[in-house]
Structure 1
């Protein structure tokens, strides 16, 4: 499965960044294609995602690893996606967030459409990078 890793540095304390990662109801504000998101239990999240102009429900399991360090996630059905968000304090007021995403290219194409092959990888990488930057902007706006 292809794996992609991206990171962004955020001007906010790590505990504030960690808290925002767990506010799944905020995901539509920074994750492209997410119409609605809600936590269904401490380890389950449901998201309604825009796929080819239609809403598709996607359920994910989540797990915190370490104290405010890593949140691992994976979908519980197709498309099979998994990954993590790692939070690393750079100093008292700056934090690095690293996103890791693993995906099956054929399932991603079936579920979301878009280009094939190398162009698909580039599109997914660009989307993850843009989502991270939207997350950075949202967190920094609230912590000025």
Structure 2
């Protein structure tokens, strides 16, 4: 497994940053290679991606979600990956968004990309685009404030 950890400070309150992050269907606006995300249920999303010429579809389950604090997930099938996004209040108008993700590169191309830091740069770029997206909006496009407690069945 490969671990990536990146963070960025955004100039919006923690509630705004968190609320926008829960709008998974907006991810294609700032995540490179993400074509579409469909919120199937409160805890299940369906993803369509095109990365390096490879189209993939997979489902991801939210394994823990606490408003204004964290969203954790893992892939239900296919390539093994999962992670957690945490939100840290810096002051009344600024938030640090931290992404920690683990994935298992499958193909030779993915393994080479991982070794060269391609995925790290992609996550960093996605966070930069999230910052630009949320700061230019000035407010979230929606938000889901539900709580998904971590449970042994959902554990990571």
Quickly name the TM-score band, shorter chain normalised.
0.7 to 0.9
Select the structure that is richer in helix: 1
Counterpart-to-counterpart distance in 2, 1:126 and 1:114: 15
Out of 32-41 and 66-75, give the one that drifted further.
66-75
Counterpart-to-counterpart distance in 1, 2:135 and 2:5: 22
| Structure 2 match to 1:127 | 122
* 1:45-82, Cα deviation, whole Å (9 max, x unpaired): 01111144353211100134433201001111121011
1:143 aligns to 2:143 (yes or no): no
Q: TM-score, normalised by structure 2?
A: 0.81
Q: Is there any run of 5+ residues in structure 2 with no aligned partner, and where?
A: 140-156
> How many residues are aligned here?
139
Higher relative contact order (CA 8 A, sep 6+): 2
| Structure 2 match to 1:26 | 26
Counterpart-to-counterpart distance in 2, 1:30 and 1:140: 12
Q: TM-score, normalised by structure 1?
A: 0.88
Q: Provide the aligned C-alpha RMSD in A.
A: 1.9
- Deviation, structure 1 residue 118: 2.0
Q: Is there any run of 5+ residues in structure 1 with no aligned partner, and where?
A: none
Counterpart-to-counterpart distance in 2, 1:52 and 1:138: 24
